[in-house]
Amino acid sequence: MEESKFKSGFVSIVGKPNVGKSTLMNRLVGERLSIISPKAQTTRHRIMGILTGEDYQIVYSDTPGILEPSYSLHQAMMTYVKVSLEDADVILLVLDGNEKFDPVLFKRFQFTQTPLIVLLNKMEKVKKEEEQKIIAHWKEHLPNMASILSISALKGKNVDQVFPLIVKYLPVHPPYFPKDDFTNRSERFFAGEIIREKIFLNYQDEIPYSTEVSITAFKEGDDLIKIQAEIYIERNSQKGILIGKGGSSLKKVGTESRLDMEKFFGKKVFLETHVKVASNWRKESHKLRQFGYFE
């Protein structure tokens, strides 16, 4: 392939919380890069997933769900969404196909010049006849949209149809990243995310939202990676819940995290965790900066 015909661009995956953006990104790049849970606000960063072929490179960005910010962490999250949309050559707007049209969400995209692909997700739940009605309902509201597709990120339904739609809009451009890169994020970042995912899956109420993870050591040997993680909560009173009776809850999180890390890094992992308090970290921008937000 001539270098001059090479197509490359940024594809921003956006939408409300919990619609399946991260599940979709992982499917599109074929790697488990983004963490997933049934709870809203699992994703707090912009995470790039890079797919490179003979004559193209697509740089997907998974982003936090769009919401009205109510504290500093939310503001940082919405800045990631904004920057990702500014960079985008193509926008993938993910919606839960079972939800109704929301004019407030669409106001944001009203004047966008960027090609917009609307993906109605979670459509495996819907019967065939119903599906046509739902697509018609959305088409009626979205007259100027580039494309609309009914998919299931979870089951993989129609996800292979997203790729040709994107390629159509990709500009001729040399690759932005080396051809064997698959993300912009570090190994430490993914180690921290894996622990956060297990916390989102194992605890209820405020705990997942009050938790942040910082990887303080990542030492890779020939066949073992030694990882040290600090798990921060907002109040001393949350320590007991996080650790659990006789340490059982934290132990479960540690084991599940280690097993996922071993799959992700392809090596044995030794994981050590410490629980600490960072009071009000979600509301204080200097603490958020220390945790790597606003970058």
Window contacting Mg ion (CB under 5 A); options: 35-43, 52-60, 106-114, 272-280? 35-43
Tell whether residue 211 is a contact of Mg ion (CB under 5 A): no
> Closer to ligand GDP at the Cβ: 155 or 274?
155
Instruction: Identify the residue among 43, 121, 210, 238 touching Mg ion (CB under 5 A).
Output: 43
Place of tokens 């080396």: 178
Query: The tokens of 103 are what?
Result: 């004019």
What is d(CA 197, CA 42) in angstroms, rounded to the nearest whole number?
7
Give the x/- contact pattern for ligand GDP in 110-149, rule: CB under 6 A.
-----------xx-xx------------------------
Q: How many residues bind ligand GDP (CB under 6 A)?
A: 20
Q: CB 8 → Mg ion: shortest distance, Å?
A: 24
For 33-53, letters b (16+ CB in 10 Å) and e give bbbbbeebbbbbbbbbbbbbe
Tell whether residue 20 is a contact of ligand GDP (CB under 6 A): yes
Main-chain phi, psi angles of 119, to 5 degrees: -115, 115
> Which of the listed partners (Mg ion, ligand GDP, none) does 152 bind, with a CB threshold of 5 to 8 Å by partner kind?
ligand GDP
Tell whether residue 22 is a contact of ligand GDP (CB under 6 A): yes
Query: The tokens of 135 are what?
Result: 């697509």
> In three state form, how does the secondary structure of 13-69 look?
EEECCCCCHHHHHHHHHCCCCCCCCCCCCCCCCCEEEEEECCCEEEEEEECCCCCCC
> Closer to ligand GDP at the Cβ: 156 or 221?
156
Site for ligand GDP in 146-165 (CB under 6 A): 152-154
